[in-house]
Amino acid sequence: MDIMTLTIILSSAFVVVTFLLISLYKNTYRKKRPNLSYNDKIFLEAALEIELGNKSDFSDRYTRATGRERKKDFKGAVEDLNEIIKYDTSNTSLIEKRGLDKYKSFDFKGALSDLNEVIKNNPDDMYAYYYRGLSNLKLSNFLAAFNDLSIAISFGLGEKDAYLNRGLAELEIDKYYEAVEDFNFYLSQTTDDKETYYYRGVAYSRCGNIDNAMRDFNITIELNPNHEKAFFERAFLKKNLNNIDGYKVDLQTAYEKGNLLAYHFLKGS
């Protein structure tokens, strides 16, 4: 083999090896080093600092808590906030932040405890009342939920969900006319909530407003043909209107769709 041929072979081999190395870099190293947003880089750096043992720098732990919240790891955020609050026990902003994270991680009793502390120190905090109201609602403390949500609204909280949730509390404490008003406000702010028509129908029914209740249950069933509770409630409206056949049909449909209570009434009809 002459020198010219050997040179060509070696050059070709070098080109092939170089191409393979570039491909390997693109397919492995780059995948391991994804492009991160600035916030994600800060979060990862903070997490690394803590894992390496720098536990005295609470700014890193706060950054990691915020990053965990962004990733919906609310339990992890609570863990980080617990460590900070050990050394800053009177910081109501941190306690409120932890209370909201507890609520979002379904620790409603824990949220209630933190939000009680916040309100004791800052009785004008409408968001603390709002989330305490939501926590009370989840814990079936309906009167307390109604009171908290009413205070939040009176302080200027304009979120439509505050009216929806107060309406749900009002249903449970027999404030049916007030519930209708709150559901009316909520539905005036949104057009895509199927379930609220059902709740307003229940409120109208308890007020004795059969026509409006019937309308809302009809809308609910049109939007969700499998809404067994709407069929069940509508059955009794039809019974009040002496539509016995309609009453039985709705009860049967409610039962077939999973409402076991309907079977009790079917047996007696």
In whole angstroms, give the CA distance from residue 187 to residue 167.
Answer: 12
State whether 195 and 160 are in the same domain: no
Least confident of 4-8, 76-80, 163-167, 173-177: 4-8
The model's pTM is: 0.79
Q: Of the residues 54, 89, 124, which one is the last residue of a structural domain?
A: 89
210 and 241 belong to one structural domain: yes
32-53 core/surface letters (b: 16 or more CB in 10 A; e: else) = eeeeeeeeeebbeebbebbeee
Same domain as 258, residue 199: yes
Residues 142 and 167 in one domain: yes
- Residue 29: what pLDDT? 46
- CATH number for position 219: 1.25.40.10
Residue 85 shares a structural domain with residue 109 = no
Domain count, the chain: 3
Residue 265 and residue 211 in one domain: yes
Q: What is the pLDDT of residues 100-127, one digit of tens each?
A: 999 999 999 999 999 999 999 999 999 9
Say if 17 falls within a structural domain. no
The domain boundary residue, chosen from 174, 207, 231: 174
CB contact at 8 A, 151 and 126: yes
Domain hosting residue 63, numbered range: 40-89
Q: Are 111 and 135 in contact (CB under 8 A)?
A: yes
CA dist 122 to 90, 108, 118, 140, Å?
12, 20, 6, 25
Within-domain flag for 205: yes
Look at 29-38, 192-201, 235-244 and tell me which has the smallest mean pLDDT. 29-38
